[in-house]
């Protein structure tokens, strides 16, 4: 079996082979490192690779290791601390800042036996749904290297889709796990708000949730089980589920009531015909599986939504730059930030505390209305993207920074809705475009409903599997 074939196997199978002794942790990690060396120069998915440390960790893992994922390689998105490794947030302004502690997700992945082989790329401060930075250059989509792998977890998506990793850490404050999943043909879940602790830096996050990018729903469920749960000192958290998510994902979902919509939440944005067709075909599949399916006009197209979201999201992003300013002992100067980030940073300084709180309250009111409207449905199906993955350089070619930011909203108008409501949502690579690129749909679940959402997603995957599809870069290798 080639390294590429090995790294396309489910992480549960890889872990089982390491546990039984049929596969050594060192051989598995070395296979990942070899693939990174061969493929990453063309994809640019990694900020740093920790080859020596990863192999040393793997050498300490033997057959019978009781940890559920002992010996399986993974990477951390470079906006979460890995002790002793540089944390760049994708910006020149970070320099080579090196935290001396692990983030909660890093620590939980280590505790589960994963071997961290490196950190992956992201847009500056995780701001955009593309992954192109002044500091590290463009990360490329393994399905078409002229296109973006999405963002902000673009490096993670590209690494998994190209077979450099079997799974990768991601996070999502406006779609940043689901967008790369859609661009790269992967499964991406944004869990319920408060499901995964953001410790140790903050006690809660209104918009953002950590997670992973995988090839199958079962893998996503299994990793959610190890990442979920509060940490002492959290300000709020989601209630513990009644059973493991992996168990829920394996259940038949039963007959559900499901809504389909292509109503875009952002005024003036268009949805492509292929995206509309994907939603219709998903509805036909769901009806054939025994579900009650209804096409609806969603009530989330609120005037000024982009401005309202920016007034909340902008300061949240800018807080990362403010953190680096404290580390550096100075404010960002000329050349420290890219134009869009600088524009959001400057805009955030014009938003006073009352305006920021008011924007948050506005989003909460909008969320309550959406959740109330959606209550009769077990799931809402939408496109994940409004169009095909953008060609690299599309956003940088727009001279007006705020116009560039608005253009990214037209690319991904659907994903931020679930960050606003806090409810779980998952992107599934159910179809392919006419040119062969992945074509995804998004399923939005009930509050606290990851288990039911995963069960429905698994049923869809069983009816129309996608895990054997491979990106051009992976297939060629």
For residue 304, pLDDT over 80 is answered with no
Q: What are phi and psi of 266, to 5 degrees?
A: -105, 125
Share of the chain above pLDDT 70, in %: 99
The answer to whether 24 is a known catalytic residue is no
Q: Which of 94, 176, 197, 418 is catalytic?
A: 176
| Listed range (76-80, 264-268, 394-398, 400-404) with the worst mean pLDDT | 264-268
For residue 132, pLDDT over 80 is answered with yes
* 417 neighbors 370 (Cβ within 8 angstroms): yes
Residue 279 confidence class, pLDDT cut points 50, 70, 90: very high
Q: What is the mean pLDDT of the chain?
A: 96
Q: Which of 32, 94, 152, 423 is catalytic?
A: 152
- pTM here is 0.98
Q: Which two tokens stand for residue 360?
A: 């948050």
Across the strands, what pairs with 190? 425
Residue 267 confidence class, pLDDT cut points 50, 70, 90: confident
For residue 137, pLDDT over 70 is answered with yes
How far, rounded to the nearest angstrom, does the alpha carbon of residue 10 sit from its chain's CA centroid?
18
Find where tokens 């989330």 sit: 300
Find where tokens 């729903």 sit: 217
Share of the chain above pLDDT 90, in %: 91
The mean per-residue pLDDT over the stretch 199-217 comes to: 97
Residue 477 confidence class, pLDDT cut points 50, 70, 90: low
Find where tokens 């209630």 sit: 239
- Please report, for residues 24, 212, 291, 389, the alpha-carbon distance to residue 181 in angstroms, rounded to integers and kept in the order given: 29, 10, 25, 11
Helix, strand, coil percentages (3-state) for the chain, rounded to 5, are: 40, 15, 45
The mean per-residue pLDDT over the stretch 124-129 comes to: 97
How far, rounded to the nearest angstrom, does the alpha carbon of residue 311 sit from its chain's CA centroid?
22
The mean per-residue pLDDT over the stretch 320-341 comes to: 95
The answer to whether 85 is a known catalytic residue is no
For residue 254, pLDDT over 80 is answered with yes
Q: CA gyration radius for the chain?
A: 21
Give 390's DSSP letter: P
Residue 307 confidence class, pLDDT cut points 50, 70, 90: confident
Q: Which of 225, 210, 367, 218 is nearest to 302 (CA)?
A: 367
CB atoms within 10 A of CB 233: 9
Q: Is 74 helix (H, G, I), strand (E, B) or coil?
A: strand
Helices vs. strands in the chain: H and E counts, helices first: 17, 13
Q: Are strands 257-260 and 292-295 parallel, antiparallel or unpaired?
A: parallel
């Amino acid at each position: 079996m080639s390294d590429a074939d090995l790294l396309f196997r489910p992480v549960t199978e890889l872990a089982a082979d390491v546990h039984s002794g049929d596969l050594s942790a060192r051989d598995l990690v070395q296979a990942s490192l070899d693939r990174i060396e061969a493929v990453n120069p063309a994809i640019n998915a990694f900020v740093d690779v920790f080859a020596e440390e990863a192999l040393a960790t793997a050498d300490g893992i033997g057959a019978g290791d009781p940890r559920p994922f002992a010996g399986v390689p993974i990477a951390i998105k470079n906006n979460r601390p890995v002790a002793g490794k540089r944390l760049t947030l994708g910006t020149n302004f970070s320099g080579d800042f090196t935290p001396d502690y692990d983030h909660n997700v890093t620590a939980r992945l280590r505790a589960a036996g994963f071997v961290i082989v490196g950190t992956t790329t992201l847009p500056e401060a995780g701001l955009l749904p593309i992954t192109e930075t002044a500091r590290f250059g463009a990360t490329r989509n393994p399905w078409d290297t002229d296109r973006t792998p999405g963002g902000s977890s673009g490096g993670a998506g590209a690494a998994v889709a190209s077979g450099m990793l079997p799974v990768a850490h991601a996070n999502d404050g406006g779609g940043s796990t689901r967008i790369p999943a859609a661009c790269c043909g992967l499964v991406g879940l944004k869990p319920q708000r408060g499901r995964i602790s953001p410790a140790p830096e903050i006690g809660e996050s209104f918009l953002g949730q950590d997670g992973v990018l995988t090839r199958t729903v079962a893998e996503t469920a299994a990793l959610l089980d190890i990442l979920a749960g509060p940490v002492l000192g959290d300000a709020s958290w989601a209630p513990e589920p009644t059973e493991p998510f992996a168990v829920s994902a394996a259940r038949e979902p039963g007959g559900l009531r499901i809504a389909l919509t292509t109503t875009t939440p952002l005024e003036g944005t268009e949805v492509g015909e292929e995206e509309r067709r994907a939603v219709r075909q998903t509805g036909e599949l769901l009806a054939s599986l025994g579900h009650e399916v209804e096409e609806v006009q969603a009530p989330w197209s609120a005037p000024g939504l982009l401005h309202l979201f920016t007034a909340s999201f902008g300061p949240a992003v800018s807080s990362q730059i403010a953190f680096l300013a404290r580390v550096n002992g100075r404010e960002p100067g000329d050349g420290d930030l890219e134009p869009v980030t600088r524009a959001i940073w400057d805009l955030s300084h014009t938003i006073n505390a009352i305006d920021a709180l008011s924007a948050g309250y506005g989003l909460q009111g909008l969320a309550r209305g959406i959740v109330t409207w959606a209550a009769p449905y077990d799931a809402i199906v939408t496109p994940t993207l409004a169009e095909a993955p953008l060609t690299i350089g599309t956003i940088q070619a727009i001279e007006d920074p705020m116009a560039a930011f608005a253009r990214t909203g037209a690319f991904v108008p659907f994903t931020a809705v679930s960050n606003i409501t806090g409810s779980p949502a998952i992107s599934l690579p159910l179809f392919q475009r006419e040119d062969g690129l992945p074509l995804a749909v998004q399923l939005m679940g009930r509050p606290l409903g990851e288990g039911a959402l995963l069960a429905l997603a698994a049923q869809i995957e069983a009816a129309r599997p996608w895990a054997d599809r491979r990106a051009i870069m992976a297939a060629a290798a």
